[in-house]
Structures are given as structure tokens and as C-alpha cells.
Amino acid sequence: MIEVKNLHKSFGKAHILKGVSTSFEKGKTSLVIGQSGSGKTVFLKCLLGLFSPEEGSIAYDGKIYSELTEDQKRNLRAEMGMVFQGSALFDSMTILENVMFPLRMFTKQSKSEMQDRADFVLNRVNLSDAHNKYPSEASGGMQKRVAIARAIVNKPKYLFCDEPNSGLDPKTAMVIDNLIQEITEEYDITTVINSHDMNSVMEIGEKIVFLKDGLKEWEGSNKTIFKTDNEAVTNFVYSSELFKKVRQMYLEERA
């Protein structure tokens, strides 16, 4: 579980996060949404320990990050997995080598142990035949699955995803969404996803945090977001005519 209390972050005179408080539970997919400039990328980087907030605290299963020693912080970061927006795979490495990379960085496992673990997670994301391919030989959807395999290879307690569906067609995006949710539940991971994909919000948004101008404007789930009267949320989520019609149908069915 991750607990965030009164988080503030500024860069010079720009006050990006303005007292954000929320929590993310184990075994659930939590989405952070908001327009460009809302503060969600800075928020995610604070959760990763890349930015230090001026005020507030972030606790990982009760351990407040700012109170940890450097060794403890290093150990905590080893318990984090990250899926980057562009997958961020190493072009010069095979898919197997890419997945093994965190094990080389954070463990003292033998090469055979690392290969066995990498084999396991590649099989888990349905890429059992892709070990010797290079990223350039893989489709966008395959690259995302490799990125997920790499993110979970070290058995993380916390999984962070930055726009994991970016650049994917709707069908492939749904496969990635379902895969992340399945892995989250299967391994009881605390998963936080930055997303602008409304299909993801509706499909896997067990917890949704909506940021606006650095503030937590709304918090709920994919079940309650249909019923919210918050104008900022409805304008963002139902910006397209299709989603406006879907929401209206939902409200009429329950009237």
C-alpha cells in the first residue's frame, strides 16, 4: 500500500503539486488521470523517488520514504517496477537480455537463475518464443509486454506505468490493460498507472485519482465516475460525443 499525504512539489516559482493526499491499495489497479500540465507526471516521479517534495510524505507499507537511509531507499527502489511510456527497451539487447537487466542490477543471482526467472515472466506475458528477437523486430504491443515482463521480473511490490497504452491500437491496448490488471491481482502488487486512455479508465480503473492544476479534484472508481456531478471530471472524461452518449445511457438505465 502507498499512502500520500499533503504532497507539495515546486520548480522555481511553478507550484506543480498543491497538497495532494490519496492512497493506493495492494492488488488493485489505480489510475491517475488529468489533462497535460495537471501534475500527474510529477506526481508519478515523486512516487518513484525521483523528485523530493517540499512538503508532505509518501509511505510504502508504512515506511515513510523521506525518513529512510540511503541503503533503505535503494532497497525500496529495488522493490519497484516501472513500465515507461515508450517501453524504453535497449535496442542492442535481445528481449531476453532486456528482461534480465534488472536482475543484473539488483540481484546476485547466477546467469542460469536470471534466465529461468526471465523465461518465467516472458511466458507469463505470452512471449515464450520471442527471447532472441531484438526490440526492432517486435511490434508495439510486443514491446509493451516485454516492458511489463521486465518490470515484474524482480518480483516488485509496487508497479508504476506511465501511459502504457500510448501508441497502441484499441484492441492491443485492451490486451495490455487486462495483462496489467491480471498481474496486479495475481501477485498482489500496488499498481499506479498514469493514463489519458478513457477505455483504461472504464475497464480497469478500480481506483481513479483526477488531478487538475496540481490539486486532487476528484477520487473514485470506474463504477462511480459515471455518477459524479463534478464538472471538471465530466468535461475531461466525456470530452467526446461517444462517451457523452455512453454516460447518458448509463444514467437513463438507472433513473
Tell me the average pLDDT across 48-61.
95
Quote the CA–CA distance of 146 and 107 in Å, as a whole number.
20
- The predicted-structure confidence for 1-25, as pLDDT tens digits, reads as follows 999 999 999 999 999 999 999 999 9
Q: What is the pLDDT of residue 153?
A: 94
Question: What is the CATH T-level fold of the domain 2-228, as seen in this structure?
Answer: Rossmann fold (3.40.50)
- Sorted by where each begins, the domain ranges of the chain are 2-228
Tell me the average pLDDT across 149-155.
94
Summary mean pLDDT of the chain: 91
Quote the CA–CA distance of 23 and 15 in Å, as a whole number.
22
Q: What is the pLDDT of residue 201?
A: 86
Lowest-confidence pick of 90-94, 184-188, 200-204, 244-248: 244-248
- The predicted-structure confidence for 40-49, as pLDDT tens digits, reads as follows 999 999 999 9
Q: What is the pLDDT of residue 202?
A: 85
Tell me the average pLDDT across 53-57.
95
- The predicted-structure confidence for 229-243, as pLDDT tens digits, reads as follows 888 888 887 776 666
DSSP string covering the chain: -EEEEEEEEEETTEEEEEEEEEEE-TTSEEEEE--TTSSHHHHHHHHTTSS--SEEEEEETTEEGGGS-HHHHHHHHTTEEEE-TT----TTS-HHHHHHHHHHHH----HHHHHHHHHHHHHHTT-TT-TT--GGGS-HHHHHHHHHHHHHTT--SEEEEESTTTT--HHHHHHHHHHHHHHHHHHT-EEEEE---HHHHHHH-SEEEEEETTEEEEEE-TTTTTT---HHHHHHHT-SHHHHHHHHHHHHHT-
